[in-house]
Amino acid sequence: MPTSPAADHRSTASLADPGAEPVMLELVDENGTTIGTAEKVSAHLPPGRLHRAFSVFLFDDRGRLLLQRRALGKYHSPGVWSNTCCGHPHPGEPPFVAAARRTCEELGAAPALMREAGTVRYNHPDPDSGLVEQEYNHLFVGLVRGRLRPDPDEVAETAFAGSAELERMCETLPFSAWFPTVVDAVLPAVRELTGSPDW
């Protein structure tokens, strides 16, 4: 039976280890200027607080996008498919550095030729968890050439998909609430990187 949003908020908030350091996010205004910090889970409770994030899109040499299915144990959007890597910089950490760091931590492979691909701002409630993504998201595109060693605490599985295969997956599999928005925003940079008009 689905739980109520209030129950979901209690369960997600209780995930924090009382003895651990809180994970802090960088709050920003509508222009992306830093205005403060907030604890990670609290920033995602409705109505959400606008914070800095990043999304990475890495491709193999055949022009296929590396996708990941988020681990079932994640507090937010578990078990759904999404782009190569996404997350939040530490307060004061450059988004490019954070994107490269988290890609290595989650997938065990360093991005190659990664570059900035703009920003996108969105507000996406997640109906399953009751959490809200209010994000000022820095986009990055690049290549992946090393062998993947996914962290099972972060990634349940991975797949490479061309544009047609991705479209089929989106019709039949659950994807993160923010995925359509970030894909649309990053497509011009993807076409430039891959040299393919199919994207």
Does residue 199 lie in a domain region? Answer: no
Please tell me which residue in 135, 154, 157, 171 is annotated as part of the active site.
135
Given this model, what pLDDT does residue 170 score? 97
Does residue 8 lie in a domain region? Answer: no
Does residue 37 lie in a domain region? Answer: yes
Q: Would you call 104 a catalytic residue per the annotation?
A: no
Number of domains comprising the chain: 1
Structure tokens at 80: 């759904």
Does residue 34 lie in a domain region? Answer: yes
Does residue 180 lie in a domain region? Answer: no
Listed in sequence order, the residues at least 6 apart from 167 whose beta carbon sits closer than 8 Å to its beta carbon are none
Given this model, what pLDDT does residue 4 score? 32
Residue-by-residue pLDDT tens, the chain, 199 positions: 233 333 333 333 334 445 568 999 999 999 999 999 999 999 999 999 999 999 999 999 999 999 999 999 988 889 999 999 999 999 999 999 999 999 999 999 999 999 999 999 999 998 878 899 999 999 999 999 989 999 999 999 999 999 999 999 999 999 999 999 999 999 999 999 999 888 9
Chain centre to alpha carbon of residue 185? 14
Please tell me which residue in 86, 165, 167, 170 is annotated as part of the active site.
86
Given this model, what pLDDT does residue 129 score? 81
Q: Rounded to 5 degrees, what angle do the CA atoms 91, 95, 100 make?
A: 115
Given this model, what pLDDT does residue 198 score? 87
Chain centre to alpha carbon of residue 120? 13
Residue carrying structure tokens 């030729």: 113
CA-based torsion, 120, 121, 125, 129: positive or negative: positive
Chain centre to alpha carbon of residue 191? 20
What is the Cα–Cα distance from 164 to 191, expressed in whole angstroms? 14
Does residue 113 lie in a domain region? Answer: yes
The CATH number of the domain holding residue 36 is 3.90.79.10
Given this model, what pLDDT does residue 19 score? 58
- For the chain, the C-alpha Rg in angstroms (whole number) is 16
Burial of residue 152, with CB atoms counted within 10 A of its CB: 0-12 exposed, 13-18 middle, 19 or more buried: exposed
Give the range of the structural domain holding residue 98, as residue numbers without chain letter.
22-172
Q: Would you call 86 a catalytic residue per the annotation?
A: yes
